[in-house]
Amino acid sequence: MTQLALVIDLNVCVGCHACVTSCKQWNTSGAAGSLMDDNPYDKDPTGTFFNRVQTYEVGEFPNTETIHFPKSCLHCEDPPCVPVCPTGASYKRKEDGIVLVDYDKCIGCNYCSWACPYGAREIDEKQKVMKKCTLCVDRIYDESLPETERKPACVLACPTSARLFGDVHDPESEVSRAICESGGYPLMPEWGTQPANHYLPRRKTSIKLHEDELTRADNPLKKDGRLPRTDPDAPFLEDSVSW
Amino acid sequence: MHPAFSVIFLTTLIGAGQGLFLALITAEAFSHMGALALQEHHFYSNGSLLSLGLLMAGLVASFFHLGHPERAWRSAAMWRTSWLSREVIALPAFMGVVFIYGLLHYLEWNPKIFGTTALPETNLTLMVGIIGIVLCFTLFICTGMIYACLKFLQEWHTPLTPINYTLLGMSSGFTLATAFATQYSLEMTGLFGTWAIILTLAALLTRTASLLRNKRIKYRSSLRTAIGVHHNNIQQKSQGSMGGSFNTREYFHGMSAAFLKSVKWIFLLLVFPLPLLLLGMGLSNDATLLLVLAFAVQYLGLIAERWFFFAQANHPQNLYYQTV
């Protein structure tokens, strides 16, 4: 069984919001109609986004770290938002595990958003239906696009490759390997929602240097003096070899 | 959570309607057993009409909560998994039974349907009433479970939630029935009044229990589990939007802690001691006005109670919005 998901590397994310803007651009231009934008260039701008980047500061000055935290629907394997939907508009696809909303069936009761502990769902206040990350379902299967572009818009936009996309149920996939090898973890594991999206933690990269590696102990030029000069009277190669 | 007045009116109005219907059936059952004098049919039909009016008002209020009310019919689809869907089925079903019950009394059509030496004699209206009781409690449970089933809303995830919905609905319904019965019989007023006092006291007990429980709640999620960084000092620097978003509006009541606290004391006063006092005075003096006032005060208190119920619930998604 396939479970498509994102793996987000917090060690690499620089908080540039390219994923946010590319997500908004792709998903506001799709068949489902535009995503709400209210006062975009005015006071108190607000709107519907599938993906947002937040920033946290961890630790105490001067020992602090800045963590940029991209946040979108986690496509839980046991999504609490799906069974509560009274109309069946909210569903999880069997074939690839993407959690979707059927905008034509949604009555806009907000109940699914209450049932999501992550706050991943946002109502479109113009269309009055619940919206959320679709993992760019209208893009990843589009055969008119070159194969390298059949990925979610956020993944393609990320300049630091902090976002990986793939099947977390396939142990050989890039995402599974990243989770396994770099300590990928789910958010709020205490609720048993089994989020498919994982986050890779901040990692310290360090190298151990020994004293003798800093000062070269084996400098042959200094130790042994200059290279010996050649004898000006000695024959050249040309003198002894005829071409 | 941000309290939505559509839901506040839905739950309080149908609660009172359900309670009133239960009061009518109690009266009919008591009369049937011979404990009370038989009532005129129009006592029941008018009572049912009043109950139906409250249920209808609640239903209308609920439509204001929907983004697409024209698609509301779709919400009966997922009754296997969704308590909201179950409520959507239970409410009209219950309203239908209340309508039939009222109609039978209005038409004064009440044939004996069975009665043997082993079983007590049962009339059609009583039978319909019993079906109504089952649906009424089903509706109370559905309404309460909509909130109680959300396990990470820890203030709501307790059996006390459906119990409170049931007892508070019944108290207001029986208080209304007490005021209503003054137009018909003193005996009924006494019966309903007594039950209204008992139910209000029971609701006081369970609502206080839930307040105490929620005061000592230990939240399972923290900012550490929310972003998966295990450090005691995490500060949020930006929350992903400039002018706020659905997440900063839907899950926060936006009032001060002092306001929340004062609403709590207001509802504790308006739902319990004041109506009890007014009921006691009204019953002893046989004063209709005081009994009507008792219902009005209690209903107003229940609006405050429901507002507090929503506002008090702390959604774990709020962890991602530390500075709202």
Tell me the pLDDT of chain B (324 aa) as tens digits: 999 999 999 999 999 999 999 999 999 998 888 778 777 889 999 999 999 999 999 999 999 999 999 999 999 999 999 999 999 999 999 999 999 999 999 998 888 877 665 556 778 899 999 999 999 999 999 999 999 999 999 999 999 999 999 999 999 999 999 999 999 988 889 999 999 999 999 999 999 999 999 999 999 999 999 999 999 999 999 998 888 999 999 999 999 999 999 999 999 999 999 999 999 999 998 889 999 999 999 999 999 999 999 999 999 999 999 987
Least confident range from A3-12, A193-202, A216-225, B306-315: namely A216-225
d(CA B104, CA B44): 9
ipTM: 0.92
Q: What is the DSSP string of A158-170?
A: -TT--EEEEETT-
**Residue reference for tokens 């360090």:** A206
Q: Is the pLDDT of residue A30 over 60?
A: yes
Amino acid at B259: F
Continuous H helices in B64-185: 83-106, 124-148, 160-181
Q: What is the DSSP letter of A241?
A: -
Per-chain mean pLDDT for chain A = 92
Three-state SS at A70: strand
What 3-state DSSP class applies to A112? Answer: helix
SS3 A242: coil
- Pairwise CB contact (< 8 Å): A55 & B236: yes
Residues of B in contact with A190 (CB under 8 A): 220-221, 225
Per residue in A212-235, pLDDT (tens digit) is: 777 666 655 665 566 667 778 877
**Token reading at B231:** 């450090």
Q: Tell me, what amino acid is at A9?
A: D
Per-residue model confidence (pLDDT) at position B115: 63
* Chain B residue with minimum CA distance to A84: B82
Alpha-carbon distance of B195 to A100, in angstroms, equals: 49
Q: How far apart are CA B162 and CA B160, in angstroms?
A: 6
Q: Is A37 helix (H, G, I), strand (E, B) or coil?
A: strand
Of B66, B153, B228, the CB nearest to A107: B66
Q: What letter would DSSP give residue A59?
A: E
> What percent of chain A has pLDDT above 90?
80
Substitution target in B65, B73, B75, B232 with the highest count of A β-carbons within 10 Å is B75
Contact partners, residue A78, CB within 8 Å, separation at least 6: A192, A193, A194
Strand stretches in chain B, DSSP E: 112-114, 122-123, 234-238
Question: Tokens representing B94?
Answer: 């219950």
C-alpha to C-alpha distance for A81 and A112, rounded to whole angstroms? 5
**DSSP code for B2:** P
Residue type at position A5: A
What 3-state DSSP class applies to B222?
coil
Of A44, A57, A84, the CB nearest to B237: A57
* Binary contact (A54, B236; C-beta < 8 A): yes
Instruction: Give the per-residue pLDDT at B118.
Output: 59
Query: For residue B24, with 0-12 CB atoms within 10 Å meaning exposed, 13-18 middle and 19 or more buried, which class applies?
Result: buried
A205 CA to centre of own chain: 20
Residues 6+ apart with CB under 8 A from B238: A53, A54, A55
Sign of the C-alpha dihedral, residues A35, A37, A41, A44? negative
Asked whether the predicted pLDDT for residue A31 surpasses 90, the reply is no
Residue A106 has pLDDT above 90, yes or no: yes
Q: Which residues contact A235 (CB under 8 A, 6 or more apart)?
A: none
The C-alpha angle with vertex A116 and arms to B232 and A12, in degrees rounded to 5, equals: 50
Question: What's the confidence (pLDDT) of residue B110?
Answer: 82
Q: Which of B71, B240, B244 sits opposite A53 (nearest CB)?
A: B240
What pTM, to 2 d.p., does this model score? 0.90
| Helix B83-106 × helix B5-32 angle, to 10° | 40
Shortest distance between the Cα of A41 and any Cα of chain B, in A, equals 11
**Diameter over CA atoms, chain B:** 78
In this prediction, residue A83 has a pLDDT band, given cuts at 50, 70 and 90, of: very high
Give the pLDDT confidence of A47-79 residue by residue, as tens digits. 999 999 999 999 999 999 999 999 999 999 999
- Token reading at B176: 């209304």
Please state the length of chain B. Answer: 324
